[in-house]
Chain A
Amino acid sequence: MTMKRRLPDFRRMRRPWIVIACAAFIVTLAMGVRQAFGLFMPQMSVSLGIGRESFGLAIAISNLVFGLAQPFIGALGDRYGAGRVVLGGTVIYIVGLLGAAWVGSAVGLHLTLGFLVGVGLAATTFVIVLGAVGRVVPAERRGLAFGIVTAGGSLGQFLVVPAAQMLLSDLGYRLALIVLAGLIAVCAVLAIGVAGKPESGAEEGPRQSLREALAEAAAYPRYWLLNLGFFVCGFHVAFIATHFPAYLDDKGLGLAVGATALALVGLFNIFGSYLFGLSGDYWRKNYVLSALYAARGVVIVIFLLLPLTPATAFAFAGAMGFLWLGTVPLTSGLVGTMFGTRYLSTLYGIVFLSHQVGSFFGAWLAGYYFDRSGNYDWAWGASIALAIFAALIHLPVRDAPARQAQPA
């Protein structure tokens, strides 16, 4: 790896810190609330008389809409600025949460907690706010800035989930959803901090239309390698987050160990998100990504080779947590380096869609093969193979502008 620079110049980042802080708080709230939805399943299923499959479908719709809407909402962010999009997304998110508190049917739940919240998420999370941050931070400090914002999202996931559980236990699901909607309303104020027309920023990259930017990205093979890599990230996190507690329970370790393991994933994710982002300012981001994916494969192999005890389960959860969302600042940073920041939200939105597709397959296929074989051997094997694949495909990715990397 090549050492590129030593220390960020914090004096030059004084004004951007406002954008970074607001962006980090927005994703802390938006990602944190999102992560708590599963907690509402038992109470809402009974209250609405809809069954867990129907509730699960609402969550699945939310995840799907989150991914599918992302490139289009990213394009809106690139055109009208992140502030307006976050404000609009906040309103939609709140309407979705309040609607979910009042609906009395499965269809209503699918429309509110599924569709509306999915759209709200796409407008208030990483793709939109990282576009705004990327435009105010010099390229050589972008890893640090993106790492802070991503760590904010990780912090939200870690803190809001147990807090939401307390709300549910004390207030019931309707009031808990209203409180969470109030929490999301804070994003409307924070949107001011990320406001500003993209054209007025100091973004680098060629002057081009959205259509030209999409054509350039589509014709650049290394951009597609990033898409494939992020698919692997989605597969890994969805498989482990969805099935790991059940895997531990199957092996006789009990529910408490599985729950604590998830908490450790969330905890170490905060530090990993920041530190991997920061690493991107010191070393070539594609090499750091290769190392990250390779480390995931090594951690899984070691975990499977060691005897399964609570200690090894916690060590695995901590290690995977550290490697969890470090991919976000590095991958989004590479998109910004390749194509500039003018259409960062659109182009990173497409890569994020690939992540969500990977998530879908990671959660679903692991369960599909478990139902047929009674074990997770296939899923672990696929995770190791995909980790090796992702580590290799990031090696030829260049941490340089696409036009500079392409032969004339």
Chain B
Amino acid sequence: MKRALPWLAPLALVPVALAGLALWQSQATPIWLAGFIAACF
């Protein structure tokens, strides 16, 4: 278990990721339409 800890650490971010996905879901189409592509690189 101790050896696997560093590899499993990102699982702690899953709640944040789910919250972020919900935020994206509510804003996704306006984001694309607003020209998000212009700032991606």
Contact = CB atoms under 8 A, between A and B. Distances in A.
Q: A and B bound? A: yes
Given A39-B31, A165-B27, A275-B10, A159 B20 contact: yes
Interface in B1-41: 2-3, 5-7, 9-10, 13, 16-17, 20-21, 23-41
B3 A7 contact: yes
Contacts of A349: none
Contacts of A267: 17, 20-21
Contacts of A42: 33-35
Interface string A257-270: 01110110011001
Interface size class of A (residues with CB under 8 A): 35 or more
A13 B6 CA distance: 13
A139 to B, nearest CB: 17
Contact of B41 (A36, A168, A238, A275): A238
Contacts of B17: 158, 267, 270
B41 A242 contact: yes
B9, B27, B39 pick with most chain A CB within 10 angstroms:
B39
Contacts of A256: 28-29
Given A241-B37, A267-B21, A278 B32 contact: no
Contacts, number: 129
Interface SS of A by simple majority: helix
A163 B28 contact: no
Contact of A165 (B3, B6, B31): B31
A223 interface: no
Contacts of B32: 245, 255, 258-259, 262
A41 B33 CA distance: 10
A363 B39 CA distance: 11
A155 interface: yes
Interface of B: 2-3, 5-7, 9-10, 13, 16-17, 20-21, 23-41
15 contacts: A34-B39, A38-B40, A39-B35, A40-B34, A42-B34, A42-B35, A52-B35, A144-B6, A162-B27, A241-B41, A256-B28, A259-B29, A259-B31, A263-B28, A266-B20
Interface of A: 6-8, 34-42, 52, 55-56, 59, 63, 144, 151, 155, 158-159, 161-163, 165-166, 168-169, 234, 237-238, 241-243, 245-246, 255-256, 258-260, 262-263, 266-267, 270-271, 274-275, 278, 359-360, 362-363
